[in-house]
Amino acid sequence: MGGSCTDAHFGVLFSGGLDCTVLCTLLHKHLRTCETIELFNVCFNEGRSPDRQAALSAFRELKLVCVGRNWRLIEVNVSGAELSSMKQYIESLIRPSKSSMDFNIAAALWFAARGIGMVDLGTELVPFYSKIRVLVSGQGADELFAGYSRHRTVFLSFGQEALSECLRNDFLRIWRRNLSRDDRIFSDHGREVRFPYLDEEVVQVILRSPLDKIADLSLEKGVGDKKCLRELALHLGLPGTGTKVKRAIQFGSRIRRFETQYG
């Protein structure tokens, strides 16, 4: 790959949650230590969203665990005026998807993937624009590892067999429901996205595994959901990450609240 060793070639869509932080650690293990890895975090609440706080916490944990790696956290802060000015354009990108949830998710991803934000140099925050072309996303982890709240509802109401069927349907729909929409968003910035959790070999391993090894929703949130991924996080030395409870991007980034105010 061209460029100097210290150049960044990969970026991670980084909420600070379980899925993306595990990916960051695995990426660290497979790249030369001298390469910078960029972390894209978006916030619609003047830098005070839950996802921003989670990202800062996970960022600190990564620096402790991944010794020698230069991580570049790009803090993308979006104003109400910016959101309003781009609303129609983003809606045009995601058609035929048109629900409020589709827009909220797409807008958060669009601003994050744009890669314009602030970077902390230690003494000051400076403006930054990312030039990397390949992004890594944790998309697919919730569908495979029972990470959505509705999965717990299905399990508690109808049992393990119903949960298994729900997960199967979610996985089969992800291509139509999420990935085509998201691909148009990322492509708009000239960036390609990789989905490691949706790698064919990973998917086959998960589908062949007993469900109770993947998730145990009889246990509390932050323990039984995405159980095997949490165990991996602990194995990788990420105790803080391993117990984090999922928060959807539209709520964690605070775009849902912003869209209500400015949309």
The model carries a pTM of 0.92
Query: CB within 8 A of 222, min separation 6: which ones?
Result: 230, 243, 244, 245
Q: Tell me the C-alpha to C-alpha distance, in Å, between residue 189 and each of 133, 186, 233.
A: 9, 6, 31
Q: In the sheet where 192-194 sits, what is the strand order?
A: 125-129, 116-120, 71-77, 36-43, 8-13, 134-136, 192-194
**Per-residue pLDDT, 7:** 83
Measure CA of the first residue to CA of the last residue in the chain; give whole Å. 42
**Per-residue pLDDT, 206:** 95
Q: Tell me the C-alpha to C-alpha distance, in Å, between residue 233 and each of 86, 121, 146.
A: 37, 28, 16
**Per-residue pLDDT, 23:** 98
Give the chain's domains with CATH numbers.
8-262 (3.40.50.620)
In sequence order, what E strands does 32-172 have? Answer: 36-43, 71-77, 116-120, 125-129, 134-136
**Per-residue pLDDT, 48:** 73
Chain centre to alpha carbon of residue 246: 10
**Per-residue pLDDT, 26:** 98
Task: Collect the ranges in the chain with pLDDT lower than 50.
Answer: 1
Residues forming a β-bridge with 194? 136
Rounded Cα–Cα distance for residues 48 and 182 (Å)? 25
**Per-residue pLDDT, 4:** 61
Rounded Cα–Cα distance for residues 228 and 178 (Å)? 23
Rounded Cα–Cα distance for residues 79 and 49 (Å)? 13
**Are 58 and 16 in contact, with CB atoms under 8 Å apart?**
yes
pLDDT digits (tens, 9 = 90+) for 109-149: 999 999 999 999 888 999 999 999 999 999 999 999 999 99
